[in-house]
Amino acid sequence: MKVSYNWLEEYVEKLPKPEKLAELLSVHSFEVKSVEKSNEDYILDIDILPNRAHDCLSHIGIARECVAVANSKFKIQNPKFTESKNLKTRDFITVEVQDRDACPRYTARVITDIKIEPSPTWMQKRLAAIGQKPINNVVDATNYVMFETGQPLHAFDYEKLEGKKIIIRGARKGEKIITLDNEICELNEGTLIIADAKNPLALAGVKGGKKAEITVKTKTIVLESANFDIKVVRATCRETGIKTESSIRFEYGLDPNLTEEAINRVTQLIKGKITKGIVDIYSKKTLSVRMRLNLSKIENILGIRVSKQQVIKYLKSLGFIINDSLRVTVPTIRRDIEIEEDLIEEIARLIGYNNIVTSHPFGLLGMARLNDELIVTNKVKTIFESAGFNEVYNISFVGEADIKKFDVNREGYIELENPLSIDLKYLRKDLLINLIKDIKDNSKTFLREDKAIKIFELGKTYRQENKKIEEERMLTGLIVRRSGKMKGESFYETKGLIDSLLNKLGISDVWYDDFQATPEWTDNIFWQRTETAEIKVGDEEIGFIGEINTTILNKLNIKAEVAAFNLNFEKLLKLAEEELIYKPPSLYPAAVRDLAVLVNLEDRVADIQNIIEQIGGELVFDVDLFDMYEGEEIPDGKKNLAFHIIYQSYEKTLKDEEVDKIHRRIIRELEKNKNWEVRK
């Protein structure tokens, strides 16, 4: 809010210089964003906190803070005016409040013999200084008092009121109002309005209407100073889309006791005959909150000792009534003070948080239990970093266009009620879409003949399944190449990486199965079926590796081979938590034999490997494929697989003859397959 320094000076004795005041307010009350000189005045731009907007969106409210932070005194000004002896307000007007909850208080006054003219220069200057446009003496006075007291006010042209009545009621079906800005507002049934005997005059607490507008011809006015409920005003704003200085103040919940002070103040500022008495509909009076403060509680919360005298001094400076036994009466204007903690905050901020001496918390500082998940997470990320991967953080959303372009199944996607744009309409169901999109932006600079792009992300995915919301972390990555040196290079690199990752996490019993898309957590649309596998640990499927479907790459105009892995991180975490069991190495030497087999192209390494392990039994310690070759020197439709077989026993040193014997048995078994030829 913009606050005029000169205006504040009217209420505060010995007001500190503007810069000093700004600093004091910032440290003890509200942040002052700027102090600017404006003619003979200074304008402070103050960021009023939401819990204080009900009393501090006003010069008097800020002045009260100034008094407290500058240790000064408040200059009280009681409005002075003379009422007419023979004209009685209640003879002019009757007020009827139909919903006392929506309108807890309504006060009105009438002034006759008014001459509409420009407001006095001093008032015009003040309003202009805080960015308000002067209109005429009546409207300016109501505005002025709102910025002074925080209480919104309104003036109606008395002559234009049907039936000399003011009724505060809900709008009827089909009723309309033309606002002061000449906007036609169709009213919802029940919207709180101010009406005369027939027509709506104003949107309660929000905006006045054309019907009873003040014009140059106006002679008699009705002044309104009312209190409206937060919810009611908020609803009107929402429905009509109108927000005003008045509605902003009502939305924070004003003190009903403020209306009288404000209406008297504005009455004093308008020249004319003031009718006798005030019309005041106020049935449930808002009373002061009373509570007891406890010195030890203050000390416990602040962590420093505060004396009773200090407490009394600080609270008094803010206008609280407090006695020697620390019984506090809260002025009704301070609607934010409800409990003891609220009062302690007042004391703390006036002492100044910077004056609270730091002290380390007591209590046994047990070593924090290291979070297992965090350890695994950090380890995984470090493994990828060492393997040459760049970590990315993509946004949590995908758009309509992505869903179409990738042609994914819409099922399970969670849609936003209020997306920022159509490109952010859904929550991501996988990390793949955004990762694949990342390639596009980076391929120009980073995808070269000799260089692959490797990226990964560990992030959350979201889906809805049978009214259940699932939120799961996925670990997904890509290796992108112009073209591999060998068939499936990126796939095998990815597979090697996953093997080493799982190994480092102590997860064993890992194998790769044929791809069968399970729609609940990977859309089969992503994968090139022939070059994709499921990653399994025991019987459990923990993820996929494979090549990204060329149709998708073509649609996105990505000219590269893209291998991907997509691991369910929640499952990975569970498996990684199981304990690693150490197996001592054999005390006896190992013997290595090589074996090369010529097989059909479609034959699989695992088939050969299985036979080797099955025949070799416990003596085969490890089987290692070191070459897979097809092409020159190899017959068409064939490929050559070369293995190192490591034989080792836990019980004895294997003799050459023993090794040879098993090796020969393996060869014999392999050759039973007519399509396989062991090369000797």
Partner 1 sequence: MDIGDLKKRIFIDLTKVKDLAELEQFRIKYLGRKGEITFVLKSLKDLSIAKRKKLGTEANQFKKEIESKIENLKSQLIKQETKTKEREKKIDITAPGIRIVHGHLHPLTHIMRKIEDIFQSMGFRIIEGPDIETEYYNFDALNIPQDHPARDAWDTFWLKTKPQRLLLRTHTSPMQVRFMEKNNPPFRIIVPGRVFRYESTDASHFYNFYQLEGLMVDTHISIANFKAVVEEFLKKLFGEEIETRMRPSYYPFVEPGFDIEMKYLSSDWLEIMGAGMVHPNVFKSVGYVPGNWQGFAFGIGIDRIAMLKYKINDIRLLYSSDLHFLNQF
Site for partner 1 in 444-473 (CB under 8 A): 445-446, 453-455, 460, 462, 464, 467, 469, 471
Residue 336 assigned ligand-binding role: yes
226 vs 451: CA distance, rounded Å: 73
Tell which one of 395, 486, 587, 625 touches partner 1 (CB under 8 A): 395
| Interaction of residue 485 with partner 1, rule CB under 8 A | no
342: phi > 0 → left, psi -120 to 50 → alpha, else beta; which?
Answer: alpha
197 vs 199: CA distance, rounded Å: 6
74 vs 66: CA distance, rounded Å: 9
Tell which one of 136, 268, 286, 442 touches partner 1 (CB under 8 A): 442
Tell which one of 116, 230, 312, 573 touches partner 1 (CB under 8 A): 230
Site for partner 1 in 51-90 (CB under 8 A): 51-53
Q: Which two tokens stand for residue 400?
A: 């309509």
202 vs 156: CA distance, rounded Å: 9
Nearer to partner 1, 358 or 557 (CB): 358
| Interaction of residue 414 with partner 1, rule CB under 8 A | yes
Rounded to the nearest whole angstrom, what is the least distance from the CB of residue 523 to partner 1 in the complex? 20
Residue 345 assigned ligand-binding role: yes
| Interaction of residue 586 with partner 1, rule CB under 8 A | no
Nearer to partner 1, 72 or 442 (CB): 442
17 vs 44: CA distance, rounded Å: 12
Tell which one of 366, 584, 585, 617 touches partner 1 (CB under 8 A): 366
| Interaction of residue 361 with partner 1, rule CB under 8 A | yes
| Interaction of residue 386 with partner 1, rule CB under 8 A | yes
Element (H, E) at 648: none
Residues in the chain: 680
| Interaction of residue 365 with partner 1, rule CB under 8 A | yes
Q: Where are the beta strands (DSSP E) in 61-158?
A: 83-88, 94-97, 105-112, 154-157
Q: Which two tokens stand for residue 441?
A: 């932006």
Element (H, E) at 545: strand 540-548
Site for partner 1 in 93-112 (CB under 8 A): none
Tell which one of 147, 384, 406, 565 touches partner 1 (CB under 8 A): 384
| Interaction of residue 363 with partner 1, rule CB under 8 A | yes
Nearer to partner 1, 416 or 601 (CB): 416
Rounded to the nearest whole angstrom, what is the least distance from the CB of residue 546 to partner 1 in the complex? 21
592 vs 620: CA distance, rounded Å: 10
Nearer to partner 1, 130 or 233 (CB): 233
407: phi > 0 → left, psi -120 to 50 → alpha, else beta; which?
Answer: left
| Interaction of residue 271 with partner 1, rule CB under 8 A | no
673 vs 671: CA distance, rounded Å: 5
Tell which one of 96, 189, 245, 415 touches partner 1 (CB under 8 A): 415
360: phi > 0 → left, psi -120 to 50 → alpha, else beta; which?
Answer: beta
Residue whose tokens read 């990505």: 558
Could you tell me how far CA 164 lies from the centroid of its own chain? 51
| Interaction of residue 49 with partner 1, rule CB under 8 A | yes
- Total number of residues binding partner 1 (CB under 8 A)? 90
Rounded to the nearest whole angstrom, what is the least distance from the CB of residue 653 to partner 1 in the complex? 40
Q: Which two tokens stand for residue 428?
A: 């991501």
| Interaction of residue 375 with partner 1, rule CB under 8 A | no
**Residue window 134-163: x/- pattern of binding to partner 1, with contact defined by CB under 8 A:** ------------------------------
Tell which one of 184, 216, 357, 581 touches partner 1 (CB under 8 A): 357
**530 CB-near residues (< 8 Å, 6+ apart):** none
Rounded to the nearest whole angstrom, what is the least distance from the CB of residue 478 to partner 1 in the complex? 11
| Interaction of residue 393 with partner 1, rule CB under 8 A | yes
Site for partner 1 in 310-349 (CB under 8 A): 339, 341-342, 344-345, 348-349
512 vs 534: CA distance, rounded Å: 5
Rounded to the nearest whole angstrom, what is the least distance from the CB of residue 379 to partner 1 in the complex? 12
Rounded to the nearest whole angstrom, what is the least distance from the CB of residue 84 to partner 1 in the complex? 41
623 vs 162: CA distance, rounded Å: 100
Rounded to the nearest whole angstrom, what is the least distance from the CB of residue 22 to partner 1 in the complex? 12
At 524, give phi and psi (nearest 5°).
Answer: -70, -10
| Interaction of residue 19 with partner 1, rule CB under 8 A | no
Nearer to partner 1, 184 or 365 (CB): 365
How many Å is the maximal CA-CA distance in the chain?
A: 133
Nearer to partner 1, 360 or 680 (CB): 360
Rounded to the nearest whole angstrom, what is the least distance from the CB of residue 362 to partner 1 in the complex? 7
Rounded to the nearest whole angstrom, what is the least distance from the CB of residue 380 to partner 1 in the complex? 11
CB 617 within 8 A of CB 665: no
Residue 342 assigned ligand-binding role: yes
| Interaction of residue 500 with partner 1, rule CB under 8 A | no
CB crowding 546-560: b at 16 or more within 10 Å, else e: bbbbeebbeebebeb
331 vs 311: CA distance, rounded Å: 17
Nearer to partner 1, 102 or 620 (CB): 102
| Interaction of residue 367 with partner 1, rule CB under 8 A | yes
CB 349 within 8 A of CB 336: no
Taking the CA atoms of the chain, what radius of gyration do you get in angstroms? 40
Nearer to partner 1, 27 or 180 (CB): 27
Tell which one of 216, 287, 370, 581 touches partner 1 (CB under 8 A): 370
Site for partner 1 in 420-439 (CB under 8 A): 420, 424, 427, 434-435, 438
| Interaction of residue 289 with partner 1, rule CB under 8 A | no
Rounded to the nearest whole angstrom, what is the least distance from the CB of residue 491 to partner 1 in the complex? 19
CB 523 within 8 A of CB 517: yes
Could you tell me how far CA 5 lies from the centroid of its own chain? 36
Nearest to 496 by CA among 411, 383, 418, 584: 383
Q: Which two tokens stand for residue 302?
A: 């602040």
Nearer to partner 1, 295 or 414 (CB): 414
Rounded to the nearest whole angstrom, what is the least distance from the CB of residue 550 to partner 1 in the complex? 22
CB 190 within 8 A of CB 171: yes
Tell which one of 135, 387, 403, 628 touches partner 1 (CB under 8 A): 387
DSSP string, 606-635: HHHHHHHHHHHGGGEEEEEEEEEE-STTS-
Residue 346 assigned ligand-binding role: yes
Helix pair 137-149, 258-269: axis angle to 10 deg:
140
Tell which one of 14, 19, 20, 31 touches partner 1 (CB under 8 A): 31
Tell which one of 157, 196, 251, 430 touches partner 1 (CB under 8 A): 251
Pairing mode, strands 154-157 and 221-227: antiparallel
Site for partner 1 in 290-309 (CB under 8 A): 300-304
Nearer to partner 1, 56 or 645 (CB): 56
47 vs 31: CA distance, rounded Å: 5
Instruction: Enumerate the known binding-site residues for Mg(2+).
Output: 336, 342, 345-346
Instruction: Enumerate the known binding-site residues.
Output: 336, 342, 345-346
